[in-house]
Homo-oligomer: A and B are copies of this chain.
């Protein structure tokens, strides 16, 4: 854990290094991924079968290529009732928040008599990548699938690796609850290629979302333009801004809830009280000792944890804006006033009773959020990622007479005479 104080002479430089630290894999998989994409594009299902045998250790023709709806329903019915109700509460709250996000169409005629508008429509089909193994989170499936369904996507396809043929029943249960239409047992860059290009068995989709390892992320990046994608995701991160009136153990738990995700995760505390900073650092050690995910959380906290003392919380918004963190928790007296000064954050958790983890599961807003300072320019996943807008324009003779000549002048100036002609011929010129 790195301890900084904003009053230190070297603070600006040390903080800049924290901001610049990407914590992302430096492994260059671009060429390998490009070869896999080409292979799936050319050989389709045969390539998928071979790559699944090689990477996941099972034969799709024997284990089955897909998991059908009754199997997903069965997994849902078999859940412990408390867990089933928790998933249902999460799904209902995520659905409600995203339904309120649906954009409105526009259609109006302006003073020049020009009818203008825009119509939002869902994409026809969306593909959702669900990782296998440690990161196979049913909550993540809900967070990706529900916005797609709320947007109106008719065909929602999950691809997920099942290493050695083992299926995660929680993922199947979540797929059932979210109304997923197809579940294919393929993962990795080849699964993303199958979604984008289509194969004999898997029809192509229009948008691919969902988290994945470096190969999956690179496949999405390379296929951007062939399909729409959600953002490129990096390691998770939390910034907690807390004054001394918090329970140090609670703040420590919040920091560790991020650290336990992965050794590359980052947890940062900004506080205006050095003694409280010490108390939190000590509480982190206490909490770690009791944590089943101790090894991961300790690795993350040791390598990437940062505790910053500031002279006043008034300094916090500028630091937060430079970090542009995925999650920003504000546990201070006037959290609202601080939030208004934070321009760049994926999501903000206000007050002492809003641990970030509640947003991961049941609050309702999406937990797929921009990482690695990308909150400067991108947003969390929403229904808009599964929709697109078509603008429309309608003129009559009078409207064309009113604004057409200006278009002719501009087309002439740009050296595009056919543009000008298509207008002037309608004005009898």
Contacts and interface: CB of A to CB of B under 8 A. Distances in A.
* Interface bin, chain A: 35 or more
A27 interface: no
A110 B362 CA distance: 13
A195 interface: no
B225 A231 contact: yes
Given A400-B353, A418-B297, A389 B395 contact: no
Interface stretch (A180-188, A309-317, A405-413): A405-413
A330 B90 CA distance: 45
A256 interface: yes
A87 to B, nearest CB: 7
A362 B413 CA distance: 14
Nearest to A297: B418
Contacts of A103: 103
B347 A393 contact: yes
B377 A206 contact: yes
Contacts of A347: 390-393
Given A87-B410, A411-B361, A392 B425 contact: no
Nearest to A253: B422
Contacts of A257: 416, 418-419, 421-422
B137 A110 contact: no
Interface string A341-353: 0111111111101
Interface in A248-269: 249-250, 253-254, 256-257, 259-261
Nearest to A142: B410
Interface stretch (A1-9, A36-44, A378-386): A378-386
A123 interface: yes
A292 interface: yes
B121 A343 contact: yes
B82 A409 contact: yes
Contacts of A377: 123, 206-207, 227-228, 388
Interface stretch (A57-65, A66-74, A111-119, A158-166): A111-119
A50 interface: no
Contacts of A410: 83, 86-87, 90, 138-139, 361-362
A16 to B, nearest CB: 13
B396 A353 contact: yes
A23 interface: no
